[in-house]
Amino acid sequence: MKKLLCAFLFVIVVAGASFAFDLNNPPVVKISGGQLMGFMNGKTFTFLGIPYAQAKRFEPPQKVPAWDGVKSAQSYGPICPIQNQTEVGADEFVWPHRYWVQNENCMNLNVWTQSINEGDKKPVIVFFHGGGYRNGSSIESAAYDGKNLSEYGDVVVVTVNHRLNILGFLDLSRFGEKYKDTANIGMQDLVASLKWIQENIKYFGGDPANVTIFGQSGGGGKVNNLMRMPSAKGTFHKAAALSSSYGLITKELNDKIVKGTLEKLGLKDVSELETYDYYNMMNAAQAVCSELGTNWTPEADGVIIQEKLCAWADEIPFIGSTVFSEFNYNWRVAGPGKNTWTDDEAMKNLKDKYGDKAEGIAEEFRKVFPGRKLADAYFYYGAAPVSSTIYYICRRGLEETVLAEKTATAKAPVFEYLFDYEVPVNGGVLSFHCSDLIYIFHNVDIPVVSIATAGDDDAHKMQDVTADAFLAFMRTGNPSTEKLEWKPYTPAEKNIMIFSRESKCRILGDEKLYTLMDDAVNKK
């Protein structure tokens, strides 16, 4: 019993006095708005569901009023409402999801830290979840839990919820003076969360002068767009956009969504949307988006979000990335696993997919990835447009859009990586959209996640290598470590870190391979 008690006991020294915290004696911090009570998870101070802003429907975020007493921060807060889901995703085994209570009052964040000493000034990393701008949450995956990364790197980890879909990205500003500040409300929420961090993260042992933001998929798109927002200046100092989305819509297209939604609902005035049932409203708006060939996307309104990167973004060190297969998931192929394919079978499949370009693709793939199974060539590339206004980027797309734009004026280093770690599950699962987050968050040992990664020695080595690089980037703006040099990416020298069983920074030289694949796909 004594050993068990010690396992849950953590002692912190503040201003010369010792305070013991455990599950029976939870930590309380005083922030700008009042007191928060968290809990100890092992030695990690954990504060969940902290409100960073509040707002009524279609209103920009406002500061949370101060409160009396001690507010509980011991459970996750509500997530943004999304359309009802009726099917289990095909990726559920390899990327298990978590669903939660939904509420329009969803502007809350979570903090994991190793200290609540205001003077410690630990690096802070802030994660924006994926799901496009339509779905998702800060707890959608167990892999988003920040405890292990906080413990491993002795850093402060923050994850954020904000308004999505019609609640976060329907601009009503052309429909009345009352709605003049409604453009990109979901992105305004993220700026509000970063301003909250600037004001309060010191109370969780964090350094407001050393904040790194990163996001994956739609979260990567959020990172890209925060660098277009004048209001975000000074709220973060390094950024990483992983397998990110890219694209903005026009005010004209947004107005068509508004008018189409009103028509489908039989409404005459936008004010009626303020109290309309969310699910009916969302279903109607989503149908309009589909008819217009678009999806929920921030708008280049010229005030909240600019078309081009802000000048101050030139000073932000940046990482852009993709994974080996992105959306070209190898578990979608019927029949035996791809590792059972002979080269003849692999070539037949490549011909079915790429026609007369298959031979050239196979030859070029062997040059780019020497010694690799030819079957893997079938699953390389794999990203595709989501709509006419937003898409997720494969390696070529990343370099031709985000990296080209960033390096054109950058005054800070830019880095690129390709995550290429095959998991020994179901006959071999190639790196897919989202999978790198498991290793960055150092979460291989979370039970539901370890099943999908095999949880073996290789998986643990992979999480150390990737997490170490991110932690180095957080601290210095340079992701190189003592064990692994990572050179910057430039248009003239396209260095890329390949995270794999034998990670290495090199020039991949897959331009011709992509051209052959593009030509074959477009020809079809």
CATH of the domain at 330: 3.40.50.1820
CB 195 within 8 A of CB 213: no
369 and 445 assigned to the same domain: yes
324 and 428 assigned to the same domain: yes
Looking at the 3D structure of the chain, how many domains does it have?
Answer: 3
User: What is d(CA 298, CA 253) in angstroms, rounded to the nearest whole number?
Assistant: 11
112 and 194 assigned to the same domain: yes
Look-up of token digits 């409300």:
185
CB 11 within 8 A of CB 19: yes
Prediction pTM value: 0.94
CB 209 within 8 A of CB 201: no
Whether 137 maps to a domain, the answer reads yes
268 and 387 assigned to the same domain: no
User: What is d(CA 319, CA 313) in angstroms, rounded to the nearest whole number?
Assistant: 13
165 and 279 assigned to the same domain: no
34 and 137 assigned to the same domain: yes
Whether 90 maps to a domain, the answer reads no
User: What is d(CA 481, CA 485) in angstroms, rounded to the nearest whole number?
Assistant: 6
101 and 135 assigned to the same domain: yes
361 and 270 assigned to the same domain: no
CA 16 and chain centroid, separation? 40
User: What is d(CA 40, CA 26) in angstroms, rounded to the nearest whole number?
Assistant: 6
Whether 222 maps to a domain, the answer reads yes
CB proximity list for 10: less than 8 A, separation 6 or greater? 20, 21, 22, 40, 42, 43
274 and 404 assigned to the same domain: no
CB proximity list for 518: less than 8 A, separation 6 or greater? 396
Whether 299 maps to a domain, the answer reads no
List the structure tokens of 383: 């990203």
Could you tell me the residue range of the domain that residue 324 belongs to? 320-523
Whether 502 maps to a domain, the answer reads yes
Strand-pair partners of 419: 323, 499
User: What is d(CA 377, CA 117) in angstroms, rounded to the nearest whole number?
Assistant: 51
Strand-pair partners of 153: none
Calculated CA dihedral for residues 510, 513, 514, 517, nearest 10 degrees: -160
User: What is d(CA 261, CA 295) in angstroms, rounded to the nearest whole number?
Assistant: 13
123 and 269 assigned to the same domain: no
326 and 185 assigned to the same domain: no
Per-residue pLDDT of the chain (524 residues; tens, 9 = 90+): 444 444 444 444 444 334 578 888 999 999 999 999 999 999 999 999 999 999 999 999 999 999 999 999 999 999 999 998 888 888 888 888 888 999 999 999 999 999 999 999 999 999 999 999 999 999 999 999 999 999 999 999 999 999 999 999 999 999 999 999 999 999 999 999 999 999 999 999 999 999 999 999 999 999 999 999 999 999 999 999 999 988 899 999 999 999 999 999 999 999 999 999 999 999 999 999 999 999 999 999 999 999 999 999 999 999 999 999 988 888 777 666 899 999 999 999 999 999 999 999 999 999 999 999 999 999 997 665 556 666 667 888 899 899 999 999 999 999 999 999 999 988 899 999 999 999 999 999 998 888 889 999 999 999 999 999 999 999 999 999 999 999 999 999 999 999 999 999 999 999 999 999 988 887 65
267 and 220 assigned to the same domain: no
Whether 496 maps to a domain, the answer reads yes
Of the candidates 266, 259, 268, the one whose C-alpha atom is nearest the C-alpha of residue 288 is: 259
